[in-house]
Amino acid sequence: MNDTTIGFIGAGNMATSLIGGLIADGWPAQRIYVSDPDADQRAALVSNFQIHSSADNLETVMAADVLVLAVKPQLLSQVCATLADAVTQKNCLVISIAAGIRLDDLSQWLGQHRLLVRTMPNTPALVQSGATALFADSSVDAQGRDLAETIMRAVGLTLWVQSEQQIDAVTAVSGSGPAYFFYVMEAMQAAAEELGLNSDDARLLTVQTAFGAAKMALESADTPAQLRHKVTSPGGTTERALSIMETAQLKATFLQALSGARDRSIELADMFGNSDE
């Protein structure tokens, strides 16, 4: 599969992370192309990874066997309009990492091209610890799905969802999810400072505890609920804290918050899909 040439349209943070992950996984630099109007971004990628770069998107499309669209959602319809003929000519696999862009809209913008995979990565991909959900059009064969998964796995975990509608739920859970954990860490650090710890110590203890808990959850066969039970002694300090959280209906708050994020994801997809009309 490493004889496949990958072209990136856009050289922002997510594209940079994917390129870095692919290179680290052994993907040949000469098999990676990127185009972006920002000369400084292109120069940085060439300097760091010795890949091909261009200011011309069409040059990248014509060189690529698979194309990764790493463009801001509000700009994607305009960019796709300039690529449609070339993509149709190449008949290449197209992977979108643009949030909120449905496959039907992407296909329309690309001249009814259907070899499409929609993905929803998250920002921990920037440190190769991402979680990415994928959904492929029915026109994409097993080889195309494997290729898309290989590319996205370069920055973390990947999973396929059963329907495109589930991408909206993924957006609410893992797409927006890092901000929820940052918010919890922010609240814990602030509480720790109120309890008398200095800012540096409060931050270090909070962040390391979050990391350790996530690592335990990833490596254990137990569910989060089972892990919580194991560290909650009857009548102890943890039980007291958790009972206060239960009284505050924290679980119900999370359900309400994630439902709101899911609904907003649907609204934005409608908005982006109508942006060219």
Q: What residues does each domain of the chain span?
A: 6-170, 177-268
R_g (Cα) of the chain, nearest Å: 21
Tell me which CATH code domain 177-268 carries: 1.10.3730.10
Has residue 8 got a pLDDT over 80?
A: yes
Has residue 14 got a pLDDT over 90?
A: yes
Q: Spell 17-55 as b/e; 16+ CB within 10 A means b.
A: bbbbbbbeeebeeebbbbbbeeeebbeebeeebebbbee
What's the pLDDT tens digit per position in 235-247?
999 999 999 999 9
Q: Which two tokens stand for residue 32?
A: 């990676």
**pLDDT given at position 46:** 96
What's the pLDDT tens digit per position in 124-183?
999 999 999 999 999 999 999 999 999 999 999 999 999 999 999 999 999 999 999 999
**pLDDT given at position 273:** 86
**pLDDT given at position 277:** 44
- When pLDDT is averaged across residues 218-225 and rounded to a whole number, the result is 97
- When pLDDT is averaged across residues 200-226 and rounded to a whole number, the result is 97
Superfamily, domain 6-170: NAD(P)-binding Rossmann-like Domain (3.40.50.720)
| Plot region of 172 (φ>0 → left; ψ -120 to 50 → alpha; else → beta) | alpha
Confidence class for position 3, pLDDT limits 50, 70, 90: confident
Q: Distance between CA atoms of 132 and 149, rounded to whole angstroms? A: 9
What's the pLDDT tens digit per position in 45-92?
999 999 999 999 999 999 999 999 999 999 999 999 999 999 999 999
Cα distances from 120 to residues 33, 164, 198, 240, in angstroms, run: 22, 11, 38, 38
Q: Distance between CA atoms of 161 and 153, rounded to whole angstroms? A: 15
Average pLDDT in the chain = 95
Beta carbons of 36 and 182 less than 8 angstroms apart: no
Has residue 1 got a pLDDT over 90?
A: no
What is the reported pTM?
0.91
**pLDDT given at position 158:** 98
